[in-house]
Amino acid sequence: MPLGGSRLARPLIAISTLGATSYIAYKYYNKPAPPQTFEIAVRQRQADGSVARVPMTLPMIPVHEIDERLRRHEIIGPWLPSGWRLCTAHLNANDPIEDSHAHAVLRPDSITSLEPATGCDTETLMVGVFDGHGGYATSRLLAKTLLPGIALELHTLRELKPQSSASSSPTGVLSYLKALVTTPPDQAPSLHVTPASFDTDPKYVSMALKTAFARLDSEIVGSPFRLLSPLFKDPTAKLDLDKNPMALPNLLPALSGSCALVALLDAQNKHLHVAVTGDSRAVAGLRPVGDSSAKWIIDVLTEDQTGRNASELKRIQSEHPPEEADIVIQRGRILGGLEPSRAFGDARYKWPVEFQRRLARALEGSNQLLRRPPADLRSPPYVTSEPVTTHRSLQGDFGQASGIRFVVLATDGLWDELSNAEVVGLVGAHLDGRRGQLAKSELALSVAQGASAGVDGKQFARSGDRGYQQGEQWQFVDDNVATHLLRNAIGHGDPTRLRQNLSIPAPHARRYRDDITVTVIWLEDPSSAPPVVPAKAKL
């Protein structure tokens, strides 16, 4: 080969080699990443009829979907009376979610003025979270009707204007009401002299809350009786759901069930009222404003109402014959089945056995299945909707003495994952402006238990109850403090764990976590509030 040809070939060979190498490198670094998967154990029925746990491989959701899922249902409300703010977030494990929530502002000039906030100090903030079980029918009904029912009872209190402080006792109230009915109109006691106001007295607000809860559950459980009583006159009659379109809407809220947690924040009179039926929980954080070095004090506002709560066990045993003392609570559950000892709906623990059997016969052949009554159902009801109420004084406005700075209301899915101390620490640090990461051991030093520790009705210890490992951290990446709690409850500060838990679809997700709904109300400096939101705006 001539010398010139050899010189020409060398660059060509080099170019070819370089091109091949670049192509190989391009293909290597740009090849599709292998799908990221993980395994969970699921129960599966075997050929012999037995049930065994077998592995199931699941794909990881894309990283960019993590924030979208956590923030999909978050709400940050506008400024509320006296600098209070509100935010909410929820995440489902069931499909559809069985939790519900509601919030509204009650104004004193109307019976049911559940409207957007205007910033007026006479407004009362009403917040509710509802943890459904056995379906979503009960919790969704509560979200629509319980707050209006409470508003109506509070309006009734507001209309009562006793003439003297002697009428501030229950006997005085009854005498006053009786006088309105039995005396001539021109001799009726005045409604305008107000040395004492019932709607600002904690004991009467507690009565109003209990009345509203009782009225609604009575309607939920009792309406099927009224609807079906004509049908049941014939012992062989069947219930044709197509010809009775109101049957299912009346039945479903009674057949499923729901816990209820409600808070009323009375800005004008500086009262916080909390009512709980079931095992949802409310926890407050206290600290002097402006002293960021002080620890957050934990104030547990509710007790978990389950069979593991000694006072609940004693109460239920006292309501039934002595021979049932050992069966009313079995394995920490009502008659061995229902975990919360107080709930709306759950009629299978409230209806007589014969009515349930008759209803089951009437529904034969329809698509609506009816669970059998509990085996040991002897003297119903075993479950009540009556709430336990708590009152706290909001000791001062922003910048004054130490007092409640925030309240967290959440369904039990949150408390299954995080302790009271963890929740108060996470919210407190978030409100202090913390972002990024924070060692779990460091956060634990920022809180202290107050006088009220509550009663934890959970069956299993949470990870934080066993102490922290070196290097474990909490994540502070969300603007919405309720979403912030969701993220740390699901992932416990571990991004991989968070991604895996969010990747588990329903119905399998329910074995690893519960539906979670969180509402946080907190106090901010009202001097930094934006312009008042117009009355037509949505909260």
Q: pLDDT tens-digit profile of 146-166? A: 999 999 999 888 887 654 444
CA–centroid distance for 103 within its chain: 12
CA distance 530 to 528: 7
Q: pLDDT tens-digit profile of 407-459? A: 999 999 999 999 999 999 999 999 999 999 999 999 999 999 877 777 777 65
CATH number reported for the structural domain that contains residue 436 in this entry: 3.60.40.10
Within a domain: 48: no
Within a domain: 50: no
Q: How many CA atoms lie within 13 A of 459 on its CB side?
A: 8
CA distance 344 to 346: 6
**Tokens linked to 176:** 């006053």
CA distance 138 to 379: 24
Lowest mean pLDDT among 44-48, 69-73, 311-315, 366-370: 366-370
Question: Is the per-residue pLDDT at 186 higher than 50?
Answer: no
How many residues comprise the chain? 539
Within a domain: 151: yes
CA distance 154 to 169: 17
Mean pLDDT over 185-212 rounds to: 69
DSSP string of 107-133, one letter each residue = -TTSTT--B-----TT-EEEEEEEEEE
- Output the pLDDT for position 403: 86
Mean pLDDT over 125-145 rounds to: 97
What is the domain count for the chain?
1
Within a domain: 338: yes
CA distance 138 to 251: 10
CA distance 139 to 371: 19
Confidence of residue 123 (pLDDT cuts 50, 70, 90): confident
**Tokens linked to 267:** 């800005």
* Structural domain containing residue 508: 64-161+197-528
Name the range with the highest mean pLDDT among 2-6, 63-67, 224-228. 63-67
Within a domain: 104: yes
Q: pLDDT tens-digit profile of 30-68? A: 555 556 999 999 988 888 888 899 999 999 999 999 999
Q: Which is more confidently placed, 134 or 528?
A: 134
Instruction: Say what percent of the chain tops pLDDT 90.
Output: 58
**What is the model's pTM?**
0.84
Mean pLDDT over 170-193 rounds to: 41
Within a domain: 390: yes
- Output the pLDDT for position 316: 98
Within a domain: 522: yes
- Output the pLDDT for position 165: 40
Please state, rounded to an integer, the average pLDDT across all residues of the chain.
83
Within a domain: 18: no
Vertex 31, ends 28 and 35: CA angle to 5°? 130
- Cβ partners under 8 Å of residue 47, min gap 6: none
- Output the pLDDT for position 8: 52
Question: Is the per-residue pLDDT at 209 higher than 80?
Answer: yes
CA distance 249 to 223: 10
**Nearest by Cα to 259 from 274, 243, 273, 279:** 279
